[in-house]
Structure 1
Amino acid sequence: MTMHSTMKQIRGLSMLLSVALSGLVPATEKPNIIILFADDISARELPIYGSSVWTEPLSSDSSDPKFRAQTPAIDKLANEGCWIKTAWATTVCSPSRAMMMTGRYAHIHKWWTNGDTGQYEVGNGKFATWPLYESSPIQLGHVAQRAGYGTFWAGKTQMAGDLTKFGYDEGCFTPGNLQDRDNPFTDFKMYQKKVDGKNQIFNSDTDEPLDTYLQHGWYWYPHVRLMNHPGEKTFAWYPHTEESKKSFGLNTYGPDIELEFAFEFMERKQKEGRRFFIYHCSHLGHDAFDWFKPDSPSKWPDTPIVKWDGEKYTRTEPKVTGDKGIYDTHGTTTESGIHHHINYLDYQVWLYQNKLEEMGIADNTIFIFCADNGTSGYGKHSPDRQKGTHVPLIIHAPGMTKHGEQDILVNFSDILPTLADITGYSLPADYEINGESLYPFLFTEKSTHRDWIYAYRGKDQLIRGSKVMRDGFGKWWDVSSEPDDLISFAQITDWNAVGEQHRHERSKLEAILPRFDLWESEHDAPGVHVPEHLQRRGKNRNASRSTKARKP
């Protein structure tokens, strides 16, 4: 890239900033936006975060280099763009996605933690999870839609209610919603039936009983549903054409299908002369039942093999044979382990960047990489310090003033107001948003962002500033310096042993918490009283689970 083109980008993005913050972005100046939202990956798993510890295939801590991910594409993205040293989600999937999508905390949207969501009455004394579009009618998809963008939702939804109401024109879901149990194209799913009066889960591929949670295959031979795909019904099973039916089978990998449809959508929007917003919620990083190896002790099924030669990736075409629980991958897939999932995410980041270059829009596309909560077996579900909340956040955009490591505090509630500034959508003045836009920090000389970040797990509250942190157990930690493993902070038990700045920040953080502490008093939709026997108030517990009993 020439100096002239670089300066042109900076001037263009500076103009974009000035008009974005006034809500008047010309359509011709709006950038495309892609969020690649990975699943259950702690910041420590990415090499750029510099942790001395990461996760090995059986989910224990490891410092063995062979279990460390290799992420050349993400590293390049982080260095040319920036990576946030301390970004917080919540401790587990559903409430993190609710925070991301709404820009709000659980005191408003009522998604407190997995299995613990606010309810509303659907009639005849029946209650259901309060959908986000009811509690929070302005979400990421709506912001982009109202700003004139084409919007696409890929991968994992994990949302209650009607998926057409979240602000997305189209979608490719793996596995969609769990109520979508009748996909005729794959046996990699489960069913439930009564055995001796108790519900028992069975493997549809073998009809053998399983000791796990009800799930579909979202990796190999995946369960896929399309939403509003041109020429199809509102919801259509994939494969959806004669050609795709011929190629679909054991070698089909869900993350590849997601990317294929995201790219197709991008190409169509470009031909239409429209900007696009891609919200790509990959399953990669999430544990899963391994249909190829039903007795595998690892949480993370293998992926297709990808190799980096210093300049580019090559991918080995999978060759899988077998049936009914007995399969042979013929050496064309990796061993199990989360590091391979991260490597495959890196490969997909590389594919995204290549696609943007091919389409000629790399200089006008913002790319965000992040994950929804901590790694399974280490941080997922955990309110201990920031094990569950500390996740990677990497932002790349032409014209940014910030590059490389940024030692600021960011919360996933910040993404929605940032998106609003990018797209030029003006949020209503009376609509409560808990996040703060990152746009001024990223594109001006502003050197700070926010003073504190917040998370929740059921009734547990977590909050952190630059000096001290309160975890979900009510313990306080000194976070003024970062340990090598990113988690072994010194606990504060004697406040006289720390400085005045620590004590002052603690008082400030304690004063913030009551505003959001509504789990007991306002758990459900406003004005709704749920009978005690129908209440969905999850038990607060640490997430040290066996592989067989793990939850989504």
Structure 2
Amino acid sequence: MHLRRPTYLTAIALTLAGLLFVSLLFGGIDRANAAQRPNIILVFADDISARELPVYGSSTWTKDRGDDSSDLSVRAKTPVLNQMAQEGCWVKTAWASVVCSPSRAMMMTGRYAHLHKWWNNSYKGRSRDQNGNVTTWPLYESSPLQIGHVAQQGGYATYWAGKTQMAGDLRRFGFDQGCFTPGNLADQDNPFADFKMVSKKVDGQKLVINEDTGKPFDTYPQHSWYFYPHVRLMHHDDKDFQWWPNTPKSIDSFGLGTYGPDVELDFIFDFMDRQHENGKPFFVYHTTHLGHAAFDWLNTENGQCFPGTPIIHWDGAGYTRTEPNISGDNGDYDPHGTVTDTGIHHHINYLDYQMWLYRNKLKAMGIEDNTVVIFCADNGTAGYGKNSHEKQKGVHVPLIIYAPGMTKHGEQDVLVNMSDMLPTIADLVGVEIPEDYACNGESLVPFLYTDKVKHRDWIYGYSRERQLIRGDLVMKDGNDRWWDVSEEPANLISYPEITNWDEASEQHQAERDRLNEILPRFDLFDTEPDAPGVDLPPKKMKKKG
């Protein structure tokens, strides 16, 4: 797949970095001029459907898990993302996969599961390690050119913050440094915080125990990634990995009010400062947990929910944040009015606050006009879209792109896959993907920076043996049902089903036929679910509807 397109790269060059960037036209960018290339910040939120963001104009959104609402009091308020969407652009129909792991695989590799074999959280392709033991096939083995590697090849410093959800050695994904919340559960346990759910045998029965209270709870093993977080650093202080807090000052300030998303951003900003001082462009891959449900350690009666966030306030010009003040222990806590109640809208509001911090930081650094900011999510909201194959509930995610010099602004009625991010970043950093390296994504750069009207003809999603695909007129979901998507319903999901194709237009029928021709090349779950050459018995798994 060849990604050099001099016509649109000329447009980027003239806008972002003047004549130095025109060197792209003649076989690549001189690394001595790396500082002239755009910095890139990619914020990949967790479990947030497009309908949750006000800019998408949905008539319904999520109140609580599995509870739809049209109550404006529980709708997110996102003044910063709204502004970014209008000054930059927002994509009406962007698809990921239906759940975290396959979506992150799609994002990081630019490939679908027929190549990387991460079909669902419940089924990631298997391989054998050097000792012959069965293990999850790491993405860097199936797809050795990922977004981190692409950025590094372009001369960029790279940072990965937040959730990893990756198998294998985190040092091999193309990132110079990282701040992960929480640390990998397989690692030696974090000595600083006891907000964790762990599996234990009690009287011969396997239970999940809340280490803070010593009581069992019906949930899954997890460490806190919100308050009192488990934070693990990669490649800081000449150490491969270490737990944070890691200095006398950070240990002294660490406590119940320490909020994982804040810690991530502190490390990201420090990284941005250091690279800017060194005259080196940076790529930040911020895989925040915000949007993802978690056990509410501060209010154990809430169980697994969308826990509250630090309180923030928008006054029309900027945000103020109330510092969390939390006291107590052993499951009995008082936040003294400094933490919101539960709800995914609070998570989205906090993301908006963080995007405001990002924009202020870029202005203060003097690089706002040379930084591309992308905001998106990995799958639909828990209780509504997450793991759903119905229509596009599971795959329809927000996508906002704010970049200087774009020709596109506001709503863009085009189709975009998360697989498109890798080739987009390759174009932005001036790296050419080899012709013989299969990539399912298509670069957004020619659409964003020229008068090109359409980005791609179809988009695709997957979950094990289920395949989802849509064009401009029709969509096939994972239940093998077809829908007319030529017009957008008020709630973004109530499309009319096509049950009698004789009544459908010739254009609808023709697009269905084209989409049906595409699907077989990706439909390999039943025949090739694991790494090539690995002969393993079928994996026992529970199928979900």
| Counterpart pick for 1:211 among 198, 210, 218 | 218
Moved more, 218-227 or 21-30: 21-30
Pick the aligned partner of 2:544 from 541, 545, 549.
541
* Paired residues of 2:13 and 2:21 also in contact (CA < 8 A): no
Summarize deviations over 1:229-252 as a string: whole Å, max 9, x none: 1x2421010001000000000010
User: Could you report, residue by residue, the CA deviation over 1:42-62 in whole angstroms, capped at 9, with x for unpaired residues?
Assistant: 000000000000000343000
Question: Are 2:402 and 1:396 equivalent residues in the alignment?
Answer: yes
| Structure 1 pair 489–32 and aligned structure 2 pair: CA distance change class (3 A) | same
> Cα 1:12–1:174, aligned 2, differ >3 Å: closer, same or farther?
closer
Q: Distance between the aligned counterparts of 2:82 and 2:445, measured in 1?
A: 22
Shift of 1:18: 6.2
Task: Decide which of 24, 28, 31 is 2:28's aligned counterpart.
Answer: 24
Distance 1:362 1:42 in 2: 28
1:51 aligns with 2:53: no
The 5-angstrom pairing of residues 149-548 of structure 1 reads 149-229=156-236, 231-296=237-302, 299-532=305-538, 535=539, 538-542=541-545
2:29 aligned partner, one-letter code: V
Listed one character per residue, the Cα deviations across residues 65-120 of structure 1 (whole Å, up to 9, x for unaligned) are: 00000000101111100000000000000000000000000000000000201100
What residue identity is the alignment partner of 1:309?
D
Aligned-residue sequence identity (percent) comes to 62
The one-letter amino acid of 1:294's match is T
Residue 200 of structure 1: how far off its partner (Å): 1.2
* Equivalent-residue separation in structure 2 for 1:60 and 1:180 (angstroms): 36
Could you tell me whether the CA contact under 8 Å between 2:417 and 2:460 is conserved in 1? yes
Kept in 1, the 8 Å contact 2:89–2:411? The answer is yes
Whichever residue aligns with residue 145 of structure 1, its letter is Q
* Letter in structure 1 aligned against 2:400: I
Deviations 1:143-200 (A, max 9, x none): 0011110000000000000000000000000013221351000011122222343321
User: Which residue in the other structure is 1:35 paired with?
Assistant: 42
CA contact (8 A) 1:109 1:132 kept: yes
Q: Distance in 2 between matches of 1:8 and 1:188?
A: 47
SS class of match (1:228): strand
Residues in 2 aligned to 1:459 and 1:58: alpha-carbon distance in whole angstroms:
26
**What SS does the corresponding residue of 2:462 show, helix, strand or coil?**
strand
**Which of residues 70, 88, 100 is equivalent to 1:81?**
88
CA contact (8 A) 1:120 1:130 kept: yes
What TM-score, normalized by structure 1, do the two folds share? 0.94
Quote the Cα distance in structure 2 between the aligned partners of 1:78 and 1:467: 25
Residues 45 and 69 in structure 1, CA contact (< 8 A), matched pair in contact too: yes
Tell me, in whole angstroms, the C-alpha distance in 1 between the residues paired with 2:348 and 2:197: 26
CA displacement 1:258-292 (0-9 Å, x = unmatched): 00000000000011110000000000000000000
User: AA paired with 2:481?
Assistant: K
8 Å Cα contact 1:170/1:227 also seen in 2: yes
Q: Identify the residue that residue 7 of structure 2 maps to in structure 1.
A: none
SS in 2 for 1:120: strand
Distance 1:22 1:249, change over 3 A: farther
Which letter maps to 1:70? K
Cα distance in 1 for partners of 2:255, 2:318 equals 28
Distance in 2 of aligned mates of 1:125 and 1:198:
32
Aligned length: 532
CA shift for structure 1 position 11: 3.9
TM-score, L = length of structure 2: 0.95
Look up the match of 1:116.
123
Contact 1:465 1:505 (8 Å CA) reproduced:
yes
The 3 A distance-change label for structure 1 pair 10 and 67 is farther
Post-superposition Cα deviations, 1:192-226, rounded to whole Å, max 9, x if no partner, equal 22234332111111111111011000000000000
Aligned Cα root-mean-square deviation (Å)? 1.6
The CA deviation at 1:35 is 0.4
Q: 1:301 to 1:361 in 2, by over 3 A?
A: same
- Return the letter of the residue paired with 2:544: R
Does the Cα contact within 8 Å between 2:96 and 2:417 map onto a contact in 1?
yes
Residue 126 of structure 1: how far off its partner (Å) = 2.0
Letter in 2 for 1:340: H
Q: Any conservation in 2 of the 1:150–1:269 contact (CA below 8 Å)?
A: yes
Give unmatched runs, 5+ long, in structure 2: 1-10
Q: Distance in 1 between matches of 2:488 and 2:36?
A: 40
Aligned 8 A contact 1:9 1:399 in 2: no
Residue 101 of structure 1 aligns with which residue? 108
Aligned 8 A contact 2:178 2:234 in 1: yes
Distance 1:477 1:13 in 2: 45
Deviations 1:2-28 (A, max 9, x none): xxxxx9996446868865577523424
* Alignment partners' CA distance in 2, 1:17 and 1:525: 40
Secondary structure of the residue aligned to 1:172 is: strand
Q: How has the CA–CA distance of structure 1 residues 455 and 369 changed in structure 2, closer, same or farther, with 3 Å as cutoff? A: same
Distance 1:512 1:490 in 2: 23
Verify the 8 A CA contact 1:370 1:392 in the aligned structure 2: yes
Given the superposition, is the C-alpha separation of residues 265 and 23 from structure 1 closer, same or farther in structure 2, using an over 3 Å criterion?
Answer: farther
* Counterpart in the other structure of 1:550: none
Q: Secondary structure at the match of 1:266?
A: helix
Partners of 1:440 and 1:13 in 2: how far apart?
17
CA contact (8 A) 1:114 1:538 kept: no
Could you tell me whether the CA contact under 8 Å between 1:467 and 1:478 is conserved in 2? yes
Q: Distance in 1 between matches of 2:188 and 2:390?
A: 36
Structure 2 Cα separation of the partners of residues 11 and 479 of structure 1: 36
Aligned-partner Cα distance in 2 for 1:439–1:177: 35
Question: How far apart are the structure 2 equivalents of 1:179 and 1:124?
Answer: 19
Partner of 1:549: none
Q: Supply the AA of the counterpart residue of 1:228.
A: H
Match for 2:149 among 142, 146, 158?
Answer: 142
> Which amino acid in structure 1 is aligned with residue 62 of structure 2?
T
Q: For residues 335-387 of structure 1, give each alpha carbon's deviation from its aligned partner in whole angstroms, at most 9, with x where no partner exists.
A: 10000000000000000000000000000000000000000000000000000
